[in-house]
Amino acid sequence: MTLFQPHRFDDQSNRTNECKNALRAAFEELVDDALTAGWDRYEVSLALSELGEQLVQATAESAGSEADIAIAKAIFEIKRGF
């Protein structure tokens, strides 16, 4: 699947929303494939959530500072609450 490139935004939340929209079709296809394979929706949701959290953790760790890690985790938790 080909994803469109991001537009240039001054506001990071716009880029995040645009990225989410770009990934949506591939994400939904992945979920459908997992459900078709026999996994239930709860298992798929939990697995994808944990994979997302691992990606946030790896991204924060590559940023290098404890502050960056704390900020990335806080943003993830805030967004998870919505």
Distance CA 72, CA 61 (A): 9
Distances from the Cα of 33 to the Cα of 26, 28, 29, 42, 51, angstroms: 10, 9, 6, 14, 17
Gap between the terminal Cα atoms of the chain: 28
Q: Please report, for the chain, the start and end positions of each structural domain, with discontinuous segments joined by +.
A: 14-81
pLDDT tens for the chain, residues 1 to 82: 788 788 876 766 678 888 889 999 999 999 999 999 999 999 999 999 999 888 888 887 776 667 766 777 777 777 766 5
**Chain centre distance of CA 69:** 16
Q: What is the dihedral of CA 28, 48, 80, 1, to 10 degrees?
A: -40
The predicted model scores a pTM of: 0.68
pLDDT, residue 29, reads 95
